[in-house]
Amino acid sequence: MLYGTPATRRRDAQRNRAAIVLAASEVLTEGDPVSLMPEIARRAGVGQATLYRHFPDRHALTAAVIEHQLDRLEEAAASLAEHPEHFRSLLRAVLHIQIAMRGLVVLIRRLDVPTQNRFRRRVLTALAGPLRGAREHGYVRADLVPDDLVLLFIMVQGVAEATTDAAAARAAADRSVDLLLDGICRAGPG
C-alpha cells in the first residue's frame, strides 16, 4: 500500500477540505478575492492541485465557504432559541461577518441567481425563529419580519462598499450596524 488505507485517505481528504474552507474564510475576511486560490492553498497547507481536486473553481469554493458560514449561523441561531434577549447580538454578529467578509459578498454576486436565492433563504430561515422570539418578547419592533433583514444586509453592504479604503469602509459599516440595530431593537420587553 503506497498511500494508506481508503479510510485514511478519506480522513486526509476530509481534513484537507476543512482546512481549505477555513483558509478561504480567513482570506475572505482580509479583502481582495483576486488572488484567492493560491493564497488559500498556501494557508491550508495544501498544493493547488489538492485545492482544485476539492474545488474545481472559485464558484465551488465560494459555495463551500458560504455553506460553512451558514452552518455556523444555524448553530448559533438554534442555540438562542430559548434566549430572545440575545437576538440583537446574533444579528450584530451576522452583520459584522458580512462586513468582514466583503470579498465573499463580491463572489456571491457572481453566483447564479437561484443559488443566491437559496443561500438567502437559509439565512432568513435561520434567523426567523430567533426574530420571532425577540418580537414576541418585545426585544425588537413588532412589525419586523425576516424579509426586513434583507434590507438591513443591503444597507450595510452599501455602506461597506462606499469606499475602497477598507478601514474607512469597516468603520462606516460598523457605525451603520449600530444605527440600524438601535432603530429596530428595544432594551427589553415592553
Residues with Cβ within 8 Å of 160's Cβ and at least 6 positions away in sequence, in order, are: 98, 99, 102, 105, 169, 170, 172, 173
Digit-coded pLDDT (tens) for 79-98: 988 899 999 999 999 998 88
Is residue 22 over pLDDT 80? Answer: yes
Structural domains of the chain sorted by starting position, each given as residue range(s) with its CATH number in brackets? 1-56 (1.10.10), 58-190 (1.10.357.10)
Cα distances (Å, whole numbers) of residue 49 to 20, 44, 53, 55, 62: 12, 12, 6, 10, 17
- Confidence band (pLDDT; 50, 70, 90) for 133? very high
Q: Which amino acid is at 160?
A: A
- Confidence band (pLDDT; 50, 70, 90) for 159? confident
Whole-angstrom Cα distance, residue 177 to residue 96? 8
What pLDDT sits at residue 93?
92
Work out the mean pLDDT of the chain and round it to a whole number: 87
Least confident of 22-26, 78-82, 120-124, 166-170: 166-170
Is residue 127 over pLDDT 90? Answer: yes
What pLDDT sits at residue 41?
93
Is residue 132 over pLDDT 60? Answer: yes
What percent of the chain shows pLDDT beyond 90?
A: 56
The position carrying cell 440595530 is 181
Whole-angstrom Cα distance, residue 99 to residue 30? 10
Exposed e or buried b for every residue in 15-31, given b needs 16+ CB within 10 A?
ebbebbbebbbebbeee
More confident residue, 11 or 135: 135
Greatest Cα pair distance, the chain, in angstroms, is: 68
What pLDDT sits at residue 186?
85
User: Which H or E element spans position 115?
Assistant: helix 113-136
Digit-coded pLDDT (tens) for 95-113: 988 888 877 888 888 889 9
- Confidence band (pLDDT; 50, 70, 90) for 166? confident
pTM, 2 dp: 0.82
User: Which H or E element spans position 135?
Assistant: helix 113-136
The cell for 111 is 453566483
